Amino acid sequence: MAEYFIGIDLGGTNIKVGLFDRTMNLVDKSSVPTGADMGPEVVVERMVTAGKGLLKEAGLRIEDLAAIGIGTPGPADYPRGIVIKSTNMPKFVNTPLRDMVASGLGNRPAILENDANVACWGEFTMGVGKEVTDMIFMTLGTGIGGGVVCNGELVRGVGGNAAELGHVIIYPNGRACNCGQRGCVEAYGSANATAARATEAIQAGEESSLGEVLRNRGEITSKDVFLHAENGDKLACDIVEGTAEALALMCVNMLHTTEPACIVFTGGMIAAGDALLGRICRHFDRLIWTLKKETVTICFATLGEDTGIIGAASLAQHAFQQGQI
Q: Does the pLDDT value for residue 21 go beyond 90?
A: yes
Amino acid residing at 117: N
- Pick from 242, 211, 210: which is nearest to 223 by CA? 210
99 Cβ partners below 8 Å, 6+ apart?
81, 110
Cβ proximity of 175 and 199 under 8 Å: no
Q: Tell which wins on pLDDT, 57 or 160.
A: 57
| φ/ψ bin of 77: left (φ > 0), alpha (ψ from -120 to 50), beta (otherwise) | beta
The per-residue pLDDT for 159 is 76
The per-residue pLDDT for 105 is 98
Q: Compute the average pLDDT of residues 302-323.
A: 95
Cβ proximity of 117 and 145 under 8 Å: no
Which structural domains are found in the chain, ordered by start?
Answer: 4-115+305-321 (3.30.420.40), 128-302 (3.30.420.40)
pLDDT in tens, 78-119: 999 999 988 778 899 999 999 999 999 999 999 999 999 999
The per-residue pLDDT for 129 is 96
Give the distance between the most distant pair of CA atoms in the chain: 67
Q: Does the pLDDT value for residue 39 go beyond 90?
A: yes
Q: Does the pLDDT value for residue 161 go beyond 90?
A: no
The per-residue pLDDT for 269 is 96
Amino acid residing at 203: Q
pLDDT above 90 coverage of the chain, percent: 91
272 Cβ partners below 8 Å, 6+ apart?
222, 223, 226
Burial class (CB in 10 A: 0-12, 13-18, 19+), 258: middle
Q: Does the pLDDT value for residue 74 go beyond 80?
A: no
Three-state DSSP class for residue 172: coil
Task: Please state, in angstroms and as integers, the Cα–Cα distance from residue 231 to each residue in 196, 208, 301, following that order.
Answer: 20, 11, 26
The per-residue pLDDT for 209 is 97
The per-residue pLDDT for 321 is 94
The per-residue pLDDT for 290 is 93
The per-residue pLDDT for 71 is 96
Burial class (CB in 10 A: 0-12, 13-18, 19+), 33: exposed
- Pick from 139, 1, 125: which is nearest to 69 by CA? 125
Give the predicted TM-score (pTM) of the model.
Answer: 0.93
Q: Compute the average pLDDT of residues 3-27.
A: 96
What is the Cα–Cα distance from 319 to 118, expressed in whole angstroms? 12
Look over the chain and give the mean of its residue pLDDT values, rounded to a whole number: 95
pLDDT-derived band at 230 (thresholds 50, 70, 90) equals very high
Q: Does the pLDDT value for residue 188 go beyond 90?
A: yes
pLDDT-derived band at 163 (thresholds 50, 70, 90) equals very high
Cβ proximity of 258 and 150 under 8 Å: yes
The per-residue pLDDT for 96 is 97
